[in-house]
């Protein structure tokens, strides 16, 4: 049996997010979390009505430096996600990356920071440091 760890992933329900515990192989780093988001909700009753807006292949890699997770996305990232889902997809990623050693998240394409929707539906500055708290209002309480 392989060592595992439970992580909290965020999936969409209606126009909000809900947390779901998922068991991943240790160590569950940021790239494993992203893979789990891309795979979506596991089948079964627990995931009924939940979905992911993070499409497979949209994220190249996640690196962590000094507590900041840099999510490196593909060139056509914005076109892979319907415009109505973009804020929720970013929120899914940011909230699910609440892992030890990560305090903020930024997004880039080929090393250049990009603009993404914030939790309040305004646009970030290119490469802005995003916090978990900005997206918490989107979570169903």
The 8 Å CB, 24+ separation contacts for 56-65 are 59/34, 59/93, 61/31, 62/29, 62/30, 62/31, 62/33, 62/34, 62/97, 64/30, 64/101, 64/102
| Closest CA relative to residue 90, chosen from 106, 111, 103 | 106
**Domain coverage including residue 10:** 4-138
pLDDT tens-digit readout, 30-84: 999 999 999 988 776 566 688 999 999 999 999 999 999 999 999 999 899 998 8
Number of domains observed in the structure of the chain? 1
23: tokens are 């068991």
DSSP 3: -
| Contact criterion met (CB below 8 Å) for 106 and 114 | no
d(CA 81, CA 76): 9
Model confidence over 111-131: pLDDT tens digits? 999 999 999 999 999 999 999
Give the pLDDT of residue 41. Answer: 86
Tell me the HSE value of 66 on the side-chain side, using a 13 A CA sphere: 2
Following CA atoms 20, 23, 25, 30 in sequence, which dihedral angle do they give, to the nearest 10 degrees?
A: 10
Residue 1: predicted pLDDT: 64
| pLDDT for residue 141 is more than 90 | no
Predicted local confidence at residue 23, as pLDDT: 86
Q: Of the ranges 19-23, 39-43, 130-134, which is most confident?
A: 130-134
Torsion of CA 89, 7, 19, 67, to 10 degrees: -50
pTM of the predicted model as reported, rounded to 2 decimal places:
0.93
């Amino acid at each position: 049996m392989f060592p595992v760890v439970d992580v909290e992933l965020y999936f969409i329900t209606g126009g909000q997010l809900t947390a779901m515990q998922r068991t991943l192989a240790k160590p569950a780093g940021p790239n494993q979390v992203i893979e789990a988001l891309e795979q979506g909700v596991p089948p079964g009753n627990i995931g009924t009505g939940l979905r992911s807006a993070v499409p497979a292949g949209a994220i190249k890699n996640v690196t962590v430096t000094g507590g900041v997770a840099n999510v490196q996305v593909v060139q056509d990232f914005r076109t892979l996600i319907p415009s109505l889902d973009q804020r929720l997809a970013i929120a899914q990623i940011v909230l699910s990356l609440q892992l030890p050693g990560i305090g903020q998240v930024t997004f880039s394409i080929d090393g250049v920071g990009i603009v993404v929707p914030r939790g309040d539906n305004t646009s970030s500055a290119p490469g802005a440091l995003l916090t978990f708290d900005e997206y918490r209002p989107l979570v169903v309480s």
